[in-house]
Every structure is written in C-alpha cells, then in structure tokens.
C-alpha cells in the first residue's frame, strides 16, 4: 500500500499596515514571491538553518489574492506547526508592516479551496462596498482570475 505525502494547508489573511500609519492606497502589493520570502526569512530567523531546511520540503505559497489579501500556504504535516508559528512572527513584507491571521487549517486541498473561495467571495463583497462607484472593470476581472486560480489548485 502506498501512502501519499501528507500536507497541511493554511488559509491566511494578511493585514497590511495594521496600525493604520499609512493612508490611501496599499503600500505594497502582496505576491506569492514576497509572502514566501517573508515566511522563509521568519523560519530561518526563529528556527535556524536546520528548521528552514526541514520546512522547505513541502512549503509552498499556493495562492495569493492581492485584492482580498488572502493566501494559501502548504506545509508538510510534520512541519506545519513550525511554519504556522513562523508566520505569526512575520512583522513585515518588504518595508510594510503586516499581521497574518489564520482563517482555516486543513489536511486536504479540496477543503482548503472551499474555505478560501468562501472567504474570498465575502471579502470581495466587502471590498465592493468600500470602493463603491470607483470599482473598475480591471479589478473585477483580476478578482475573477483569482477565483479561477483557486478552483484549479492541485497538490
């Protein structure tokens, strides 16, 4: 009998500039690259090179939505607690202060996709209320592209 590699999936929201120091537009656009770099830097700082090496086997930022600030992170079942704790210690992405909030933790990509879709749709409804008439077709299309990406996520 073959047993698959066991992963955990974390659905997280990113709060940019949680102290409200900056006004207006977002100070940084979150991407898979800069979220991944911030988490890896935190693992290295808090758990050392061995901690980073053991976490990297399965670690991947699977999805990031720059509009709703939602992301999905994959980690191995053995290492997810280390990754999760490192995420809680991330204080900035680039020069922008951030706080991560865990919304869902799952053992399957399917359950994770469902939770992320629901959160993304609700957060986009809130976003539309905030921006009102300033909602552009570009943003709506970008959001649809993000939702489409969630639907086709694989291991």
| Residue 7 near residue 75, CB atoms below 8 Å | yes
- The pLDDT tens digits of the residues spanning 75-108 come to 999 999 999 999 999 999 988 999 999 999 999 9
Average pLDDT over residues 72-76: 96
Question: What stretch of H or E contains 62?
Answer: strand 60-65
Neighbours of 2 (CB within 10 A): 3
- What pLDDT score was predicted for residue 99? 95
In this prediction the pTM is 0.90
Domain ranges of the chain: 7-18+28-151
pLDDT at residue 26 is higher than 80: no
Residue 30 binned pLDDT confidence (cut-offs 50, 70, 90): very high
* CA dihedral (100, 102, 105, 110) positive or negative: negative
- What pLDDT score was predicted for residue 154? 80
Q: For domain 7-18+28-151, say whether CATH 1.10.3720.10 is its number.
A: no
The helices-and-strands tally (H runs, E runs) of the chain is 4, 5
Neighbours of 6 (CB within 10 A): 11
- What pLDDT score was predicted for residue 148? 92
- What pLDDT score was predicted for residue 55? 93
pLDDT at residue 21 is higher than 70: no
Residue 17 binned pLDDT confidence (cut-offs 50, 70, 90): confident
Q: Which DSSP string corresponds to 55-111? A: HTTT-EEEEEETTTTEEEEEEETTTHHHHHHHHHT--EETTEEEEEEEEEEESSHHH
Q: CB under 8 Å to 17, separation ≥6 — which residues?
A: 27, 96, 97, 98
pLDDT at residue 3 is higher than 70: no
């Amino acid at each position: 009998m073959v047993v698959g590699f066991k992963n955990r999936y974390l659905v997280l929201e990113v709060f940019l500039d949680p102290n409200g120091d900056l006004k207006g537009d977002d100070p940084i656009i979150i991407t898979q690259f800069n979220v991944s770099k911030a988490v890896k830097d935190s693992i290295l700082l808090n758990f050392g090179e061995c901690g980073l090496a053991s976490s990297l086997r399965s670690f991947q930022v699977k999805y990031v939505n720059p509009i709703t600030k939602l992301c999905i992170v994959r980690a191995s079942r053995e290492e997810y607690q280390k990754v999760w704790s490192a995420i809680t210690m991330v204080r900035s992405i680039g020069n922008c202060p951030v706080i991560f909030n865990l919304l869902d933790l799952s053992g399957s990509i399917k359950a994770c996709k469902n939770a992320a879709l629901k959160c993304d749709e609700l957060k986009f409804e809130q976003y539309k209320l905030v921006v009102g008439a300033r909602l552009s077709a570009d943003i709506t299309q970008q959001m649809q592209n993000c939702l489409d990406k969630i639907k086709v996520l694989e291991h």
